Amino acid sequence: MSGFCMDKVKNAVLTGASKGIGKKILEKLALEKINVWCLCRTWSEEFSEYIEKLEKENGVWIKHVFCDLSSENSIRTAASTVLLDKNAIDYLINCAGINYRNSFLMTSAEDMKNVFQVNYYSPIRLIQLLAKNMIRNGGGKIINISSASGFEHNIGTFAYGASKNALNWATETMSRELAPFGIVVNGVAPGITDTDINKGNEVEIEKVISNMNIHRKANPDEIADIVMFLLSDKASYISGHIIRVDGGRVK
């Protein structure tokens, strides 16, 4: 049993679908026969062929909607494109994010704004723009992909950690405000995962891994599995939580 009761066709909006954790989530959504709007800034021929394969194998549609999460206008346009389809939105997964490493004193106001725009403001705006569709159609589920860094206070992660901490707070608050409308909101906070976002920082990563309970990086599949669990009917009584999937990092 997959945990998804398919009494009707389900549709999902997913950001960050072209690689890493987002790509694995996309794959698992397709396997559950869930249609997907992929909000992406980049779209390669290789990824397009991958999408076509998923569609044919699983009998779903997967639509590319251009969206630059650093631009408010682009976010609005992408949301409008999704809503013009006149389909119910059952799931919204905010997976896209950017990393930034520097000390507090070396973090410029511009850098801070850029990190917060993508990691915090863009998921908030998408939820504001798309939640009314969920409300009209009887509810839905929203998952925000945060980070273990949002719980920690490590040197060099000032902007990134602060943006993810803010997303954690927003996720918990939105879960209360949207629950009366049948919308369940949760978050997933991955630890060090084997994706491009962690490349170039191997020395620091190895230090963190050595102090973890499980001494390795997570596979993107392992994070995507938790997302799918939260979207499924098996998680029907979980609301307002940030699930840490971090291999037992030292708090």
64 vs 43, 115, 136, 140, CA distance in Å?
A: 8, 24, 24, 21
Q: Are strands 183-190 and 242-245 parallel, antiparallel or unpaired?
A: parallel
The DSSP symbol for 150 reads G
Q: What is the DSSP string of 227-240?
A: HHHHHSGGGTT--S
The active-site residue out of 100, 120, 121, 160 is: 160
Amino acid at 204: E
Integer-rounded Cα radius of gyration of the chain: 17
Amino acid at 80: S
Q: What is the rounded CA–CA span in Å between residue 183 and residue 158?
A: 31
Tokens encoding 140: 């839905």
Neighbour count for residue 215 (Cβ, 10 Å): 11
What is the strand order of the sheet 11-15 is part of?
A: 62-66, 35-40, 11-15, 91-94, 140-145, 183-190, 242-245
Max distance between CA atoms of the chain, in angstroms, equals 54
Active site residue 160: yes
User: Rounded to the nearest 5°, which phi and psi values hold at 212?
Assistant: -90, 160
* Residues forming the active site: 160
